[in-house]
Chain A
Amino acid sequence: MTLLLWVVLTAGPTSSATASNELNVMLDWFVNPDHAPLFVALEKGFFTERGLKVKFMTPSNPNDPPKLVAAGKVDLAVSYQHQHHLQVDKGLPLVRVATLIATPLNALVVLADGPIRSLADLKGKTIGYSIGGFESVLLKVMLGTQGLSLKDVKLVNINFSLSPSLFTGQTQAVIGAFRNFELNQMDIAGKPGRAFFVEEHGIPPYDELIMVAHRNRVQDEALKLFVEGIEAGVQFLVNHPEESWQLFIRGRDSLDDELNRRAWIDTLPRFALRPGALDHNRYMRFARFLKNQGMIGRIPTLESWAVELGE
């Protein structure tokens, strides 16, 4: 699939990299409230008033977009901080240029009226996950705070079938549930969930959603203008959440449902208010965490994989 996309983008009209005011941006997933600052900026014209022509695309697989950025097929991609560390470690020439969501969204979720009251109750239970490697590390560390190990639970890859696998009792807990999304989804379905927030159980805080670009584009003025556009977008969003919601669903009727409306409110406090700012210590702390867990081999100098654009 990735290959197909690569071929299609190669065959298409000239690479966007040549036209400096046109930016092709690939989202991580279908459009959802996590992307609010981007779409508010788009609808309010914050990109066009900076002379940018921005086009958003959605992938079929959340792993693909950064690869296409690395291959020079798109200009920017929405990625995840943990994924970014891994891809940089594998040699992809990527650099983080902005943050969309500045806290973790990932959580371990169980049924609220189920038998799991604390993480210690997970002993002997089946836990579903979707992202091999990273989520096993999250679980290992979270269970470790209770003196448990991965051997004390049964792991099964549920490939993002989060709420359904809990509802049907196939799993007793799932990791990879987004607190702003799955908790609302479960509540609407009449089976409310309980979340154990990863950063409250041994995981150093990180940015859930970031924007990545190719390393050789950090001097590109267009990228800097784009990040300024996001900043204006998030500013408008937190000042006018209701009006922003109307902008978000304008022309995108399928997004106008109860789940998205509730997620919209719950996501508001999670957005990066200074999307372009980079917290050096926090990024290095998380890199060290991943290295200690054996997820990445070495930690390159920060400037090579995370930057503040401009001056």
Chain B
Amino acid sequence: MPVPRLGIICIGLILLWQAVVWITQVPPYILPPPKSVVLALMDHGPELLGHAGITLIEILAGLTIGTIFGAGSALLMMISRGTKHWIMPVLVISQAIPVFALAPLLVLWLGYGLSSKIAMAVLIIFFPVTAAFYDGLRSTEPQWLELARVMDAPPHAVLREIRIPAALPALASGLRVATAVAPIGAVVGEWVGSSAGLGFYMLHANARMQIDMMFAALALLSAMALILYFIADAGLRRLIFWQTEQEGTVR
């Protein structure tokens, strides 16, 4: 998405926010006007950025580990049909359980440090990555597989040379979804128990009735998620140059 259009959307959303404040006369302790949030962002910038850094580390670590696990499970399911019957139900269950219910458990097992938040992020992105990549691996063009069979290619070569490259665009769309939802995992983890991060900051601000600061943290979090998404999107397009737009990936 070109930068100007993004800017227009952001400005539009802020105007809408201001309009809601004007029209509904909602008091500032429930929804602060954009101006006071911007002021809070400026007043507490360095502190907020420090917390944002912690959350960013959690998101990036969660994305890395979640991608490795997710791609690994998809490959495993592809190679051995037997494992599919075991992994798939676990995957679905992991999605059916609300992460909010699991978060306290993870925090108690893994402690109040970074690892419980990373685990939350991993948990939340595991499914989109696995499902997308597995679907990609399964839906290779039949003609290509036919060609490999005619040429007598061994199974590992078919996987390496045909199935995986053909599935990478699908994996990429899974990763885009993962990038967009990973911050939720990290913040849910922080919400349950932490001593740093944007989620921690929001808890604090809320308890002290500093609603403008809470929304400032929220704005920063959204900005972070947005930037991450666009970086991931641009990077993936460059890496997977054979992906064509009409393949129906998430755009």
Kindly state whether residue A131 has any CB partner on chain B within 8 Å: yes
**How many interface contacts (CB-CB < 8 Å) are there between A and B?**
82
| Chain B nearest Cβ from A260, distance in angstroms | 21
Contact with B along A139-172 (1 / 0, CB 8 A): 0000000000000001111110100110010100
| Chain B nearest Cβ from A31, distance in angstroms | 21
**Which residues of the partner chain A approach B205 to less than 8 Å between Cβ atoms?**
132
| Chain A nearest Cβ from B50, distance in angstroms | 16
Bound CA span A2–B107, Å = 26
Q: A132-B203, A133-B204, A157-B203 are known contacts. Are A67 and B111 too (CB-CB below 8 A)?
A: no
Interface of A is mostly: mixed
Closest to A10 in B: B24
Near A by CB (< 8 A), chain B positions 162-194 give 191-194
Q: A67-B29, A90-B29, A170-B111 are known contacts. Are A156 and B193 too (CB-CB below 8 A)?
A: yes
Near B by CB (< 8 A), chain A positions 266-307 give none
Near B by CB (< 8 A), chain A positions 47-83 give 61, 63, 67, 70-71
Kindly state whether residue A92 has any CB partner on chain B within 8 Å: yes
**Which residues of the partner chain A approach B109 to less than 8 Å between Cβ atoms?**
168
Closest to B112 in A: A156
Q: Are A170 and B108 in contact (CB-based, < 8 A)?
A: yes
**Which residues of the partner chain A approach B206 to less than 8 Å between Cβ atoms?**
61, 63, 132
Q: Are B207 and A90 in contact (CB-based, < 8 A)?
A: no
| Chain A nearest Cβ from B219, distance in angstroms | 15
Q: Looking at chain A, what size class is its interface with the partner chain?
A: 20 to 34
**Which residues of the partner chain A approach B208 to less than 8 Å between Cβ atoms?**
86, 132-133
Q: Are A158 and B30 in contact (CB-based, < 8 A)?
A: no
Kindly state whether residue A196 has any CB partner on chain B within 8 Å: no
Interface size of B in residues (CB-CB distance below 8 Å) = 25
Q: Are A170 and B112 in contact (CB-based, < 8 A)?
A: yes
Kindly state whether residue A3 has any CB partner on chain B within 8 Å: yes
Q: Are B195 and A3 in contact (CB-based, < 8 A)?
A: no
Closest to B24 in A: A10
**Which residues of the partner chain A approach B72 to less than 8 Å between Cβ atoms?**
none
Kindly state whether residue A236 has any CB partner on chain B within 8 Å: no
**Which residues of the partner chain A approach B193 to less than 8 Å between Cβ atoms?**
128, 156-159, 161, 165, 170
Contact of B30 among A6, A90, A126, A159 (CB under 8 A): A6
Q: Are B195 and A67 in contact (CB-based, < 8 A)?
A: no
Kindly state whether residue A87 has any CB partner on chain B within 8 Å: yes
Bound CA span A154–B113, Å = 12
Q: Are A157 and B111 in contact (CB-based, < 8 A)?
A: no
Contact of A155 among B26, B30, B111, B195 (CB under 8 A): B195
| Chain B nearest Cβ from A62, distance in angstroms | 9
Which 3 pairs across A and B sit closest by C-beta, in order of nearness? A132-B204, A132-B207, A133-B208
11 further contact pairs, Cβ within 8 A, besides A6-B30, A126-B112: A2-B30, A7-B24, A63-B209, A67-B29, A87-B209, A132-B207, A132-B208, A158-B112, A159-B192, A161-B192, A165-B108
- Could you pull out 20 A-B pairs where Cβ atoms are within 8 angstroms? A2-B30, A6-B30, A63-B207, A67-B27, A70-B29, A87-B209, A90-B209, A130-B207, A132-B203, A132-B206, A154-B195, A155-B195, A156-B112, A156-B194, A157-B193, A158-B112, A164-B104, A165-B193, A168-B109, A170-B107
Give the A-binding residues of B (Cβ under 8 A): 24, 26-27, 29-31, 104, 107-109, 111-112, 191-195, 200, 203-209
